[in-house]
Amino acid sequence: SDQQDLSKTNRHRLKDRGIFSMSLKGKVAIVTGGNSGIGLAIVLELARQGANIVIDYISHPEATEALEKQVVALGDQAIGVDADVSKVADLEKLVAAAVKQFGRVDIMVNNAGVETRTSVLDTTEAQYEKVLEINLKSAFFGTQIAAKQMIKQGDGGRIINITSVHEDWPMPGNTAYCLAKGGMRMLTRTAGVELAPHNICVVGVGPGAVATPINLSTMTDPALMKKLDDAIPLGRMAQPEEIASVVGFLAGDGASYVTATTVFADGGIKQSSPGL
């Protein structure tokens, strides 16, 4: 039928544009907080798809070196850069390192994050500043500096902010973290609109509970783990790879029309209801 012919034609067109190709071959990515947790899984996923990677880290250089070797084993190149993302000068260092080593930046993943698990009543000024600077200030200036480089290159790019279900959902006892993630939510939306004319897509990825060092205190307490698992419709925490695969998709051709929004991968926790 005409309709079938039409959809076939469209399929061919989409294929020509590479919509169905998942490859990031030749692309250059920066991953902040790249040597552990979700960041480490993102590094490996982007490398699996062929990207060369700048791995930002602030501690455990040996973990970064081991990860660089894993990237090389996947057939790509990686460099580790010791940079504190709460400092604008260090974010500039990251982008400069990518340009020096690989000539460009196509994908910026603002992933670095910390939490203090303190309430509005007991958070100190130092804790507040640390959480806001490492999570939010880093994403703001990471977006700015990467976008300037992408605009110079002239062919668009992707900025992916790793937020949390807590960009939109209270976590009592973790107030500064929720503030920072809420800020990242609006950074993603606003910068996404501002940068769209440059074909730079800005997307948030909002994980729920993930088996990473940030959740160690819960994971080592069976009673807390049970409480958490019971709150998650899928009944379990995510593995970091289950978040990295979403980032891998959003970095690729198949996500060329996704911007100024957040994609949640949370096992349904944000919609969870006891049904009572």
Residues classed as catalytic: 177
| Cα-based distances in Å from 202 to 100, 179, 220, 242 | 24, 19, 35, 20
| Site size for ligand BGC (CB under 6 A) | 9
> What is the closest distance, in whole angstroms, from the C-beta atom of residue 243 to ligand BGC in the complex?
11
> What is the closest distance, in whole angstroms, from the C-beta atom of residue 113 to ligand BGC in the complex?
7
Query: Which H/E stretch holds residue 158?
Result: strand 157-162
With CA atoms as reference, report the closest residue to 107 among 48, 24, 38: 24
Whichever of 215 and 256 has its CB closer to ligand BGC, that residue is 215
Whichever of 147 and 165 has its CB closer to ligand BGC, that residue is 165
Within residues 157-216, the interface with ligand BGC by CB under 6 A covers: 164-166, 171, 208-209, 214-215
Tokens at 129, concatenated: 């500043």
Whichever of 165 and 191 has its CB closer to ligand BGC, that residue is 165
Whichever of 102 and 264 has its CB closer to ligand BGC, that residue is 264
Give the per-residue contact string, 212-241, with ligand BGC (x = CB under 6 A; - = no): --xx--------------------------
Whichever of 209 and 250 has its CB closer to ligand BGC, that residue is 209
How far is the C-alpha of 247 from the C-alpha of 131, rounded, in Å?
A: 23
> What is the closest distance, in whole angstroms, from the C-beta atom of residue 269 to ligand BGC in the complex?
6
> What is the closest distance, in whole angstroms, from the C-beta atom of residue 53 to ligand BGC in the complex?
24
Within residues 91-130, the interface with ligand BGC by CB under 6 A covers: 115
Q: How many residues does the chain have?
A: 276
How far is the C-alpha of 193 from the C-alpha of 212, rounded, in Å?
A: 32
> What is the closest distance, in whole angstroms, from the C-beta atom of residue 115 to ligand BGC in the complex?
5
Using Cβ positions, the residue closest to ligand BGC within the complex turns out to be 164
How many Cβ atoms sit within 10 Å of the Cβ of residue 97?
Answer: 18
CB 105 within 8 A of CB 95: yes
DSSP code string of 42-89? HHHHHHHTT-EEEEEESS-HHHHHHHHHHHHHTT--EEEEE--TTSHH
Tell whether residue 48 is a contact of ligand BGC (CB under 6 A). no
Question: Three-state SS for 227?
Answer: helix
Whichever of 183 and 208 has its CB closer to ligand BGC, that residue is 208
CB 83 within 8 A of CB 90: yes
Residue the block writes with tokens 């993943």: 109
Residues whose CB is less than 8 angstroms from the CB of residue 49 and which lie 6 or more positions away in sequence, other chains included: 22, 23, 24, 25, 248, 251, 252
> What is the closest distance, in whole angstroms, from the C-beta atom of residue 94 to ligand BGC in the complex?
23
Query: Which residues make up the interface to ligand BGC (CB under 6 A)?
Result: 115, 164-166, 171, 208-209, 214-215
